[in-house]
Amino acid sequence: MWQLPFVSLNEREEIPPDVGVLLSSSRDEFSIPNQFKGDNPLQALRSSLARLFMKEKFDNLVIGIDPGPYPGIAVFADGVMMEAYECPLRENLSDEVRSIVNTYCFNQLQVKVGNGDAPNRDYIIERLRDLNLRITVVDEKNTSFPHKIHDNALSAARIANVESKYELSRQWTNVSRKNMFEKEFKTLRNQVRTSL
């Protein structure tokens, strides 16, 4: 998902100077600077992302949700897209959002849900209310084009940016799903790549 450069180390190896964070199991007894422990790799990685930006915490975390039977989820931290993916089932969405909220380090959080697909939207909002989150329903008009590359994750990323100065370009030449996120948004991958 992130496609970030990494190196695997055993505990006896010296940490290279260009390693920004160290991810390890929550069962590891040792502790070193810039170490992030988790019960699983995703948990540790999410908790380390602010440090990759030389921050203790992100100021703003925005979660965009494209409602549907397979909802799209996108996470932006201080204007940079951290991740975007499709949730396998709408019934799992609240667990996915809970995991995001519990593992990212941030000061303020906003959840934006697209106003389309009313039955699934209402179901999703009802499930998210149990998490006591600030939820905004936004107009998702034009977040699903062009149809030849439409997917729920991309729509969720666009929904997360509704009400900002974000404008959808209608010039779609030589566009593929593979590079759409990199062309349209500031992403973690291209931010890390430019800092190397």
CA distance 195 to 86: 28
Residue 20 reports pLDDT greater than 90: no
Residue 156 reports pLDDT greater than 50: yes
| Arithmetic mean of pLDDT, 158-185 | 62
Using pLDDT thresholds of 50, 70 and 90, give the confidence band for residue 167.
very low
- Using DSSP, state whether 171 is helix, strand or coil: coil
Interior/surface letters 163-188, b for 16+ CB within 10 angstroms, e for the rest: eeeeeeeeeeeeeeeeebbeebbebb
Residue ranges in the chain assigned as alpha helix (H)? 41-52, 93-103, 118-129, 152-160, 177-184, 188-195
172 inside domain? yes
Q: Considering the chain, what is the average pLDDT of its residues?
A: 83
Contact at 8 Å (CB) between 81 and 74? yes
48 inside domain? no
165 inside domain? yes
Would you tell me how many other CB atoms lie within 10 Å of the CB of residue 68? 20
Return the pLDDT at 171.
44
7 inside domain? no
Nearest to 63 by CA among 97, 104, 91, 90: 97
Residue range 62-108, pLDDT digits in tens: 999 999 999 999 999 999 999 999 999 999 999 999 999 999 999 99
147 inside domain? yes
Q: Which residue has the higher pLDDT, 30 or 170?
A: 30
CA distance 168 to 184: 9
Straight-line distance from the first to the last Cα atom of the chain, in angstroms, rounded to the nearest whole number: 19
How many separate domains does the chain show?
A: 1
5 inside domain? no
CA distance 155 to 104: 22
Q: Domain range for residue 74?
A: 55-195
28 inside domain? no
37 inside domain? no
Domain of residue 177, CATH code: 3.30.420
